Chain A
């Protein structure tokens, strides 16, 4: 047998940058039709995440996941915090949200979230989603099985969690058979959005501007922007 001998174990060179990788468009190139509605889902706690989805106005009302905002990442299979402050994390969400829509940011979240007041300071209004985990999972599964779920190519954490979502080996002592609640913070956000069965708005006439809107428009302020809170100088983060 002519088995080759080992080559010297020099440190292998780093792989060349893939020229095709640059061809993947980013969120900057997105151009959504104005009739599409945007929704946000949020999961609060030590590990936080948010997902922004867009929904067209026509059936079958597919979900298009545009962006994810986890404050963590996965190293191998381990979850690790990125070390973002809550303000840094929230400003990423609100900046993109205000870029996409003039509406203020309202996010579906667990009804028992303890971060409602804190997030209100950060211009994110948490809306309690009372759909249970079973329902949320089943609705999202329905979207997935019907081919009504689309993910942006720049997402990384959400596809990972979607792929790794698992059923338990057997039902719980209470007779529940819910998916395992591990490594699913961003997935939770998407489930919150999907469970509301969102729809885009139909084309309709623009609502007439109020007197306040007209006054603000004179100063170059759009209707949605006036809701933005002034920064809190006590935190020292807005200098």
Chain B
């Protein structure tokens, strides 16, 4: 079976799991999951005859939205940076369920400790093995976070395992279909991906990061996912209110610094707004792209004759200047 066939099978089985379970993803969950399948979720309403998905909005209503093919094809590294209780863990648990259809699938959840991945693992078991879900049989099921034994081996042959980054040496040397990084901000940095991504190569596997953007290193997911590499995708700035099942407006007000709440502005931006924590502890409060001097902002610092001659400008914009393209 080719990798393309494997991925198609996984995506179709995932859809079957969602249908059976009655799970309608939130827009941010659908966005990164579709990016992994080679699609882009739009804000446009569905058009008859075109691909579309149903998503659940923050008022619990559902709406069908148009999806279009992703320009760069399926993304291999997916990041979901949302606020607390935004549905990141649930999205990961749901997404990982698709691999159960493959007889030799190997999926690993990686967290700092075994207990970190417990919610995702529990959701996965619920999707696959509960009566409400697929009701699949397993040959082995262990859920002992204290002993570090959290495994699910289905009778189909697919196996899921929770791994701890503290035992990272044991992560080397296997063929893996997907790594799911849980609370990735707790991990030391992108080395948690770069040191083991070779295991994904043979099966063209996925790496999924679901995390609040608590630590500055998470920004690399954001940088890569927004244009630096077409194989990466980043879904970010997801407010906690996207999940109507856990959102509490009164609690948000208590934390909102603009209303005299408990949190600092930075902490609030991360915890509730899912914003990238690039300003956390920042010394210079600087973000790339700020305070640049350019020919437009500082025309006196540039040689306009040369700029015009080389075709980088049409004319010298300064009053009284004569340089212009012939």
Interface residues of A (CB under 8 A from B): 1-15, 22-23, 25, 28-33, 64, 76-78, 137, 140-141, 144-145, 147, 149-153, 159-160, 162-169, 179
Interface residues of B in 253-306 (CB under 8 A from A): 278, 280-289, 291-295, 298, 300-303, 306
Residue contact A153 to B292, C-beta cutoff 8 Å: yes
Bound: A168/B292 CA distance, A: 28
Bound: A164/B289 CA distance, A: 14
Q: Given A3-B18, A5-B15, A7-B73, verify A151-B53 contact (CB < 8 Å).
A: no
Partner of A151, one of B4, B220, B292: B292
A-B pairs with beta carbons under 8 Å apart, 22 shown: A3-B15, A6-B12, A7-B73, A9-B3, A9-B38, A9-B73, A10-B73, A11-B73, A12-B72, A15-B72, A15-B230, A23-B312, A25-B307, A29-B306, A30-B302, A76-B220, A140-B284, A144-B291, A151-B292, A162-B286, A163-B286, A167-B282
Residue contact B217 to A150, C-beta cutoff 8 Å: no
Partner of A13, one of B3, B4, B72, B280: B72
Contacts of B291 in A (CB 8 A): 144, 147, 149-151
Contacts of A162 in B (CB 8 A): 284, 286
Residue contact B288 to A163, C-beta cutoff 8 Å: yes
Interface residues of B in 10-58 (CB under 8 A from A): 10-12, 14-15, 18-19, 24, 34, 37-39, 51-54
Residue contact B282 to A165, C-beta cutoff 8 Å: yes
Residue contact A179 to B283, C-beta cutoff 8 Å: yes
Q: How many A-B residue pairs have CB under 8 A?
A: 153
A215 to chain B minimum Cβ distance, whole angstroms, is 32
Bound: A7/B284 CA distance, A: 44
B317 within 8 A of partner (CB): no
Contacts of B281 in A (CB 8 A): 166-169
B312 to chain A minimum Cβ distance, whole angstroms, is 6
Residue contact B51 to A4, C-beta cutoff 8 Å: yes
- Please classify the interface of chain A as helix (H, G, I), strand (E, B), loop, or mixed, using the class held by over half of its residues: loop
Residue contact B312 to A159, C-beta cutoff 8 Å: no
B200 within 8 A of partner (CB): no
Contacts of B294 in A (CB 8 A): 25, 153
Across the interface, name the chain B residue whose C-beta is closest to A179. Answer: B283
Residue contact B293 to A4, C-beta cutoff 8 Å: no
Q: Given A1-B18, A7-B69, A160-B288, verify A31-B34 contact (CB < 8 Å).
A: no
B204 within 8 A of partner (CB): yes
Contacts of A22 in B (CB 8 A): 312
A101 to chain B minimum Cβ distance, whole angstroms, is 15
B148 within 8 A of partner (CB): no
| Extra 6 A-B pairs, beta carbons < 8 Å, given A5-B12, A7-B37, A9-B74 | A4-B52, A5-B15, A9-B3, A12-B231, A159-B289, A163-B282
Residue contact A77 to B4, C-beta cutoff 8 Å: no
Partner of A144, one of B286, B295, B303: B286
A191 to chain B minimum Cβ distance, whole angstroms, is 10
Residue contact A9 to B204, C-beta cutoff 8 Å: yes
Across the interface, name the chain B residue whose C-beta is closest to A147. Answer: B291
A163 to chain B minimum Cβ distance, whole angstroms, is 5
Bound: A32/B51 CA distance, A: 56
Q: Given A6-B38, A12-B72, verify A144-B293 contact (CB < 8 Å).
A: no
Q: Given A4-B34, A137-B283, A179-B283, verify A64-B301 contact (CB < 8 Å).
A: yes
Residue contact B230 to A12, C-beta cutoff 8 Å: yes
Residue contact B39 to A7, C-beta cutoff 8 Å: yes
Residue contact A165 to B301, C-beta cutoff 8 Å: no
